[in-house]
Amino acid sequence: MTKLFSPITLRDLTLRNRTVVAPMCQYSAIDGFVNDWHFVHLGRFAMGGFGLVILEATGVVPEGRISYGDLGLWKDEHIAPLARIVDFIHSQGAAAGIQLAHAGRKASTPVSWNTPDKLATEEQRNAVGYEHWKPVAPSAVAHSSNPDFQTPEALDEAGIRRVIDGFVAAAQRAEKAGFDTVEIHAAHGYLLNQFLSPLANKRTDQYGGSRENRMRLVLEVAEAVRAVWPAHKPLLARLSVSDNAPGGWQVEDSVALARELKARGVDAIDCSSGGFDEGRITSTAAYQVPFASAVKKGADIPTMAVGLLGDAAAAEAVLENGEADFIALARGALDDPNWPLHAMRELGSSDYSTWPVQARRVKERDRVLGRLPA
C-alpha cells in the first residue's frame, strides 16, 4: 500500500487515507448559514475519496468574517444545516473538519463577483445578505492601502476576551454538529496571524512586543478550545509558517509556536504561508512543503503540506521522505474532486472499493480503455 493511501490516526480518529481537502472560502452564505451550494461543493470531495474534508474559514463571531458571504458558527441555528453536511461526508467514508476563524483587519471585505452595480438596490443587497462593519485587529493599522481594507479598531481587553469566547463557543457548536476535528486558523494574515506578526502587531501590552507576548492569544485560544473540544477528537492549527517578508514572522518562530501548541493539545499543524501585503513568494509545485518539513522536524508534530500538490507521485514522495504526514489540496480538489481515486490508480492500485458503489462501473470503463495498472 502506498503511504498516501494508508490510514493514519490522530487520537481516536482514523482517516482512511492521508488526502485532505483544505478549507476554501466560497463567499456564498447568508448570515453565516450553509446552503445547497456548500452541500454539493463539500459532498463531492467525500464521494471523491478524500480522507478528511475541512470546511472553509468559519467566523466565530459575526465581525470575524472575511466577507458577508462567509460561513459562521456564532449561533446555535447554524448547527443543524452543518450537521446535514457532516452526516453526508461521514456516509461516504470521509471525516469532516471545520476551520474556525476570525479575519481581524481583513474582515468586511467585498465579494468579488457582487460588483457595485449588483448591489445598487436594497433588494439586491438583501438577496446576497450584504453587510458592512468596522473590523478589529491587534493594532489600528490597515492591511494595505487598497480601499477594500479599512483601518481597524485595536482590540481592548474585553474585545480579546470576546475573541477567545467566540472560538470556544464555536468549537462547542462544531461538536454538536458532529465534526471530527476543528482547525484553529492562525494563518494568511487573519486575526491570530496578525497578533503573531510584527508586521501587524504594534501593541505594547502583554499581547505585543516579544515573540512570547505575540504568541499569547493563539496559545490562549488553543488552550480554551482544547478544554471544551472532546479529548478523543484531534485539534488542528493552521499556521502561516513564514510571512515571506523581511521583519515578519519566520520559520523558526513557527517551530517555537508549534512546540507550544503541541504542549497544549494540538495534534497536527496545517502548514501554509503568507497573507500580508508585504509578503511575496513564487508559487511553484510543492512550494510550501519545506515549511511542513521544518515544523514537523523542529517541533516533532504531524504536519499537513499544502500548495500545488496535485502530482500523485510527488505527493507520495513527500510522505515517503518524511516531509509531512498529510497532503492537502484546495484548487487541485476544485479541478478534480475525484483526485484521490485517480491518484490511487496512478500509483498502481486496481482497487476501486473507495469509489461510491453507484460509480464502480468506472472500473470496467478503465479496463476497456487500458487504464488499469498492469
6: left (phi over 0), alpha (psi -120 to 50) or beta: beta
Instruction: Map residue 7 onto helix, strand or coil.
Output: coil
Burial 337-358 (b: 16+ CB within 10 A, else e): bbbbbebbbbbebeebebbeee
CA distance 281 to 63: 29
8-state DSSP, 354: T
Q: What angle do CA 270, 9, 255 make, to 5 degrees?
A: 30
- What pLDDT does residue 373 have? 79
- What pLDDT does residue 283 have? 95
Per-domain residue ranges of the chain: 8-334
Contact, 216 vs 223, CB < 8 A?
no
Residues 6+ apart with CB under 8 A from 113: none
Active site amino acids:
190
- What pLDDT does residue 286 have? 97
CA distance 6 to 2: 6
Residue with cell 477567545: 164
* Amino acid symbol at 12: D
pLDDT in tens, the chain (374 residues): 899 999 999 999 999 999 999 999 999 999 999 999 999 999 999 999 999 999 999 999 999 999 999 999 999 999 999 999 999 999 999 999 999 999 999 999 999 999 999 999 999 999 999 999 999 999 999 999 999 999 999 999 999 999 999 999 999 999 999 999 999 999 999 999 999 999 999 999 999 999 999 999 999 999 999 999 999 999 999 999 999 999 999 999 999 999 999 999 999 999 999 999 999 999 999 999 999 999 999 999 999 999 999 999 999 999 999 999 999 999 999 999 999 999 999 999 999 999 999 999 999 999 999 988 76
Question: E-assigned strands of 138-285?
Answer: 153-154, 181-186, 235-240, 268-272
Report the C-alpha dihedral over residues 239, 245, 247, 253, rounded to 10 degrees: 30
CA distance 292 to 322: 10
Strand-pair partners of 57: 99
- What pLDDT does residue 292 have? 98
Alpha-carbon radius of gyration of the chain: 20
- What pLDDT does residue 1 have? 85
Residue with cell 497573507: 275
Contact, 218 vs 176, CB < 8 A?
no
CA distance 107 to 120: 21
- Is pTM beyond 0.95? Reply is yes
- What pLDDT does residue 372 have? 86
- What pLDDT does residue 266 have? 98
Q: Are strands 181-186 and 95-101 parallel, antiparallel or unpaired?
A: parallel
Q: Which CATH class name applies to 8-334?
A: alpha beta
